[in-house]
Amino acid sequence: MPPFPRGATSSSSSSASSLHHLHRLHLHLHGLLRSFATSAVGSVWSFGDNSNGAVGDLPPLVDAYEPLRVPSLPSSAIASLAAGHYHSLAVAADGHLWSWGRNAESQLGRPSLRETWSIPQRVVGLDNVKVRAAAASGVVSAAIGDDGSLWVWGRSKRGQLGLGREITEATKPCRVEALAGHDVVKVLMLFLEKKLLLFPMTTEKESLFTIPCLSSLNGIDQSLIRMGHAFALTKDGKLFGWGYSEDGRLGQMGQIFDTTSKHPPDLDKHRDKSKSMLEIVEELVAERIEREDNMPIIWEPSLIRELSDINVSDVSCGLDHSLVLCCDGTLLSCGDNTYGQLGRTTEGSKLLPVETNFNFKPLSVSAGLGHSLLLCKTESEHENKSNAVLSWGWNRSSQLGRQGQEGIPLSVEGLSGEDPIAVSAGRVHSIVLTSKGEVWVWGSGRNGRLGLGSSTDEAEPALLECLEGFQVLQAAAGFDHNLLLVAE
C-alpha cells in the first residue's frame, strides 16, 4: 500500500475487523446537515471517517486524522459547505454545486450510479439554478436557489424527498413544488434508513443503537427502526416540516398523523437457533418496513401549526428531536427526550421551552444524534458580554464537552475566554468556530473525526493547532466526518 498523506490512516489499522464488517452492514443514518453562511470564499479542507469517500480524494478505507485540503474543487472559490452522513456538498461562488462521497441512493446528483465517488464533481441538473445554499442528509441532498426555490434528489420510500407519496426517487434535482412561492433560506435533515447500526454494547461504546444482550432477543427495541424528518425555514420566519413524525418531532402537525402500531413484534417466531442475531434483527426490520403504509409519514412540506403565528430564526433536528429558535429569543424543543436532548424537565414531546439560564440570549442551535448545542450571548451584569456555548443531552462519548447534569443546558467551560461564533454537532462529537477563525473540537475521536491526529476522545474542548496560521470561515460536522472552509 502506498504511503498515506500526512494525517491519513487506514481504517483497517484502527479498528477490529469484526467491527469493520458490522460497520458496512447498515444503510446509514442520514447525516447531519450543518451549514453556516459566509460572504467570503475559500478552499475546502476535511477530516474524519472516509469509508464512503466523504473526506475526498483519499484511497478507500483511509480516514483523515488531521485536516487535509480537498483538491479537484475550484481554487479559492467555495462559498459554503454542507456535510451529510457520508457525502459532502460545496457551493461555489458562481452558484454551481459540487458533490462527493456516498452515492448509493443517487444523492450526489450524477448520471451514472456508483456506490462512492471520492473526487468532487458538479451536480448535474441545476444548470438553470444559481445555488446559494445546500443541505445533505444520508440519502437526500438539497439545494436552495437564489430565488428561494428548494431542489432535492436522492432516494427514499418514507417521505424524505418531500415530493409527495408517489415520488420516492429523484436521480436528478427536482423542485419541491409544495414550497413554491416561499423563499427558503435554510433546510435541515436527518434520516435513518431501514437497516440498523448493530454493535454489542461492550465493544462499541458510542453506538446509540445497541442490542443489550446478544445471546437472546430480550431487549430488542423496535424504536431502533426509526425514520427521519426535515425542516425548511423561510425568509419570513415560517417553518415547514416533513418526513417521519413519530414522538412529536415535527410538532403538532406530526402528532396528528401518528398512526404507528402500538403492538409489539412477535419475537417467538424468530427464535430459530440456527439464525444469527443479525439475521433475526434484519427479519424484524423487514417486517417493520412492510408496515410502512401505516407509519406516521408526512410526504410534503407542511406548516408547523403551533408556530404559524411565530417567526422562527433557526432550527435543527437530531435523530428524533428538534430544536426551534424563535425570533424573540425563545428556544423550543420537541420529540423524544430519552437522553435529555430536549433540555427540559417538563414532560411531553410537543414544542415546549428549553430551560436555559436568563443570562444567556440564544443565537443559533445545532442538534447532534442525541445531544444539543446552543450558541448564545452572555448578558450577565458581572461579566463581559461575549458568546458562550451550552450543551445538553446524550454524553456517552463526552460530546457535551463538560461535567455536570446532562439533561439541562449548561455552559461548556473549556471555551472560557474564547468567542465562539458557530456551533456544529456531529453524531458523537462537537465543533465550534471562533471569531479568530480557530476551530475547537471535543467528543469521540474515532476515525479521526476530531482532527487531532489520533482516535482519542476529548472530554473538553481542544484546539485544532494544526490549523495555526489559517483562518477558518465555516465548520460543518457530518455524521463522522467534517468539512472546513479555509480562507486563502
Higher pLDDT, 476 or 317: 476
Concatenating the DSSP letter of every residue in 204-244 gives -TT-SSEES-TTSSTT--GGGS---EEEEEETTS-EEEEEE
234 grid coordinates: 423561510
pLDDT digit string (tens) for 176-215? 999 999 999 999 887 655 443 333 233 333 344 333 333 3
- pLDDT score, position 190: 78
The Cα 281–Cα 208 span in angstroms is 16
Rg (the chain; Cα; Å): 21
247 grid coordinates: 414522538
The pLDDT of 13-20, averaged and rounded, is 34
- pLDDT score, position 433: 99
Unique residue bearing C-alpha cell 430551560: 355
Amino acid letter, residue 169: E
Examine residue 212 and state whether it is found in any structural domain, yes or no: no
How many CB atoms are closer than 10 A to CB 305? 15
The pLDDT of 212-241, averaged and rounded, is 61
Higher pLDDT, 22 or 69: 69
Examine residue 277 and state whether it is found in any structural domain, yes or no: no
Whether the CA torsion 77, 81, 83, 87 is positive or negative: it is: negative
Is residue 58 within 8 Å of residue 94, measured between CB atoms?
A: no
Q: Is the pLDDT of residue 379 over 80?
A: no
Examine residue 273 and state whether it is found in any structural domain, yes or no: no
Residues 6+ apart with CB under 8 A from 273: none
Q: Is the pLDDT of residue 288 over 80?
A: no
266 grid coordinates: 412477535
Number of domains in the chain: 1
- pLDDT score, position 168: 85
> Which CATH number goes with the domain that contains 125?
2.130.10.30
- pLDDT score, position 327: 95
452 grid coordinates: 487531532
Examine residue 206 and state whether it is found in any structural domain, yes or no: no
What does DSSP say about strands 360-367 and 371-378: parallel, antiparallel, or unpaired?
A: antiparallel
Bridge partner list, 343: none
- pLDDT score, position 192: 56
Examine residue 201 and state whether it is found in any structural domain, yes or no: no
What is the pTM for the complete model shown?
A: 0.81
Examine residue 215 and state whether it is found in any structural domain, yes or no: no
24 grid coordinates: 458496512
The Cα 156–Cα 236 span in angstroms is 29
Q: Is the pLDDT of residue 411 over 90?
A: yes
Whether the CA torsion 161, 163, 169, 173 is positive or negative: it is: negative
Examine residue 304 and state whether it is found in any structural domain, yes or no: yes
Examine residue 117 and state whether it is found in any structural domain, yes or no: yes
The Cα 31–Cα 48 span in angstroms is 14
Helix/strand/coil for 122:
strand
Phi, psi (rounded to 5 degrees) for 279: -65, -40
The Cα 344–Cα 407 span in angstroms is 7
The pLDDT of 294-308, averaged and rounded, is 85
* Domain range enclosing 407: 8-192+227-260+295-486
